[in-house]
Structure 1
């Protein structure tokens, strides 16, 4: 399942910075609801806040933002029992969910949905229209294989991050999502990873002892690409099962919809590294099924947060297609694509296809484009239709290639990222290795 991890800079749904108000629409000046609305909503500051409450919260930008309380837990401070709250910023991606202290919450804005609470207690599984809509919206965003009940179970199971930060090489990285580490690691706020074998530990001292013994200075696989300081390693999940599983644990911290953790035998992992005199340091990876009947040439893809916005994601996508060309096959990423994954792929497909259309002045067929690029014909067709560059005439698709329109689309697609120098790729397809 493909998800693209990007930087944590928040953006409201409409693309603008949200301005949070002390009162929600429909309240009076003192923050109370008009009499006729009182049966539906109530403003309270009864502590501890209930799970499901909505309230404004001071975020790291110093501004107030609306949140929903996902979970709460007791903390002991100053000789008193208090609570902290795990909240979801409703304007932002789930990756920004976090534990907050009571003093960050504006209790004058507390809103509890009474009817939902009552309905939950009475029916157990019955959903309100709002909850049903939320399930449907999430369904579209990357869990098409789950029914509503399974999706609710997934959301319940993964709603709270179990690991807050990790140390990997010279970086300390804030995590984005829940990852199903073994239970003994769930009480750790921070995990320490060996950046070469990806073993993880609870304490810094354990990592230091491990690093004195670990003789790896690169991922445990075959180096199939080296260009300057960039290197790509191919790791067979069956030959290096522990590494593959550790990589999946790590990746899940930054991918919301990744589902592969243990069954790594059927996959190959392509790990991109920056190399220096200390070794080869992982910056990202993609995985790929050894045998795919659906022509999938990529299953999961991730660029680690410290290395994002440097063109590595685009490089990984391009690399997956170069492997398909070597195999003599067309390829496509595994579905469903996340919203960010779809954007990244559309950008790649747009740049590659429009460059060819410019050179050939549009005198080329979908089949020829597919043969040249290893991009599946359906993806080419969808991309050109999205750009409104294709028409259906007399029973066949006709490509429209006005140079000015092509240039405009190319400019909108942005820069192409790092180039893959195919002359530096030394690789034998898996079926030939076997």
Structure 2
């Protein structure tokens, strides 16, 4: 059954107030974190690619790399350095992006990186993410995780040539590290996402929603259902609730079986027999398991979302959705839900026949040595060029 319009307005105002309160709490927590960093000699700023970014939390980098309060990170291999000169002399030859391409559209690409095959890169990735995440990160035991690294693409024009000479060189594509999400190779709790990060310069551009959508698309390809590792932060909860609403509304409005076909197939009965009125052709009925199968979302998350939208009913001893398309569209208008997805459905480059948990052994390079020794090879002794923010 659907809640009344006045109740929906009160619920929306309550959600807005709750979100503002949580945002104020997050800002206060970040301010306290920065004060603690200044007192505890932690990293306050990183330079990666074309961006200089203020950090939010402390990360367990080696103590000697925290002395200048600023860290320089190679965008290709995520190796961290103390001085800008060291980064300029680095001239990284590591493959970037690395791993197996699993998704691509006009502006971004997603690569699957095995934590066991690319140990050092994934360790550096986890250390970087801890600067912007308060919890749920791993550092060393990463062999049982897959990392899905998202990069933004931009085209660079070939070098200038005279107008009378037509250059045969195509436009080259440059990649920029945006963020990632990780997942366990085998999760007992059916978690399809363990940790997610989008760097601050790229927030507000729907990259977080793209990562969430892709995590569920990979889950559907595996023929299972899943969800994020619990507990969720306040920001993570609002992001996932937004996605759950869009995915379920899209499934309800899609090409799904009608109520008559559903009853005749599952119950072996005629819905019009003994009934005083016929069911409208636009009215549909679905079980929670059916919606979970269509969306890849865990049943408990489907149940929460339907109840949150006021679309849940109880019929023949179980929870079902029995509602008309017109009512669903009304809920979409009242809640201002945009059912369109961020990802390009034609951008997935994997299917059910692919092994989603296999590593790309042909592309992987064996990595040896410790993290500290690898990062100290190009350090210049006696350099005093490190600068604070």
Q: TM-score, with normalisation over the residues of structure 1? A: 0.62
From 79, 96, 99, the equivalent of 2:31 is 96
Shift in Å at residue 161 of structure 1? 7.7
Aligned-partner Cα distance in 1 for 2:128–2:122: 10
Aligned-partner Cα distance in 2 for 1:98–1:205: 29
Report the CA distance shift for 1:186/1:282 in structure 2 as closer, same or farther (over 3 A).
Answer: same
Report the CA distance shift for 1:232/1:91 in structure 2 as closer, same or farther (over 3 A).
Answer: closer
Aligned-partner Cα distance in 1 for 2:28–2:201: 18
Shift in Å at residue 386 of structure 1? 2.1
Cα distance per residue 1:78-120 (max 9 Å; x no partner): xxxxxxxxxxx868342233667xxxxxxxxxxxxxxxxxxxx
| Contact residue 161 and residue 177 of structure 1 kept, 8 A | no
> 2:295 maps to which residue?
373
Aligned-partner Cα distance in 2 for 1:308–1:91: 16
From 92, 99, 102, the equivalent of 1:221 is 99
Aligned-partner Cα distance in 1 for 2:31–2:327: 38
Shift in Å at residue 402 of structure 1? 5.0
- Does residue 316 of structure 1 match 2:243? no
| Contact residue 185 and residue 202 of structure 1 kept, 8 A | yes
> 1:140 maps to which residue?
none
From 8, 15, 19, the equivalent of 2:20 is 15
Aligned-partner Cα distance in 2 for 1:12–1:165: 32
> 2:135 maps to which residue?
257
Report the CA distance shift for 1:91/1:172 in structure 2 as closer, same or farther (over 3 A).
Answer: closer
* 1:344 partner SS: helix
RCO (CA 8 Å, sep 6+): is it higher in 1 or 2?
2
Please report the RMSD computed on the Cα atoms of aligned residues, expressed in angstroms: 3.1
Listed as ranges, the matches of 1:135-284 within 5 Å are 162-210=42-90, 212=91, 214-216=92-94, 218-276=96-154, 277=172, 279-284=174-179
Aligned-partner Cα distance in 2 for 1:346–1:159: 37
Larger strand percent: 1
- Does residue 426 of structure 1 match 2:350? yes
Aligned-partner Cα distance in 1 for 2:250–2:208: 20
| Contact residue 286 and residue 322 of structure 2 kept, 8 A | no
| Contact residue 266 and residue 290 of structure 1 kept, 8 A | yes
Aligned-partner Cα distance in 1 for 2:25–2:358: 50
> 1:3 maps to which residue?
none
Report the CA distance shift for 1:302/1:222 in structure 2 as closer, same or farther (over 3 A).
Answer: same
- Does residue 395 of structure 1 match 2:273? no
Aligned-partner Cα distance in 2 for 1:95–1:413: 30
> 2:188 maps to which residue?
293
Report the CA distance shift for 1:90/1:288 in structure 2 as closer, same or farther (over 3 A).
Answer: closer
Aligned-partner Cα distance in 1 for 2:41–2:356: 36
> 2:332 maps to which residue?
410
> 2:236 maps to which residue?
341
| Contact residue 151 and residue 178 of structure 2 kept, 8 A | yes
Count of matched residue positions in the alignment of Structure 1 and Structure 2: 297
Q: TM-score, with normalisation over the residues of structure 2? A: 0.69
| Contact residue 217 and residue 278 of structure 1 kept, 8 A | no
| Contact residue 193 and residue 227 of structure 2 kept, 8 A | yes
Report the CA distance shift for 1:185/1:409 in structure 2 as closer, same or farther (over 3 A).
Answer: farther
Aligned-partner Cα distance in 1 for 2:18–2:221: 41
Report the CA distance shift for 1:160/1:349 in structure 2 as closer, same or farther (over 3 A).
Answer: farther
Shift in Å at residue 172 of structure 1? 0.7
Report the CA distance shift for 1:225/1:184 in structure 2 as closer, same or farther (over 3 A).
Answer: same
Aligned-partner Cα distance in 1 for 2:25–2:248: 37
Aligned-partner Cα distance in 1 for 2:149–2:17: 33
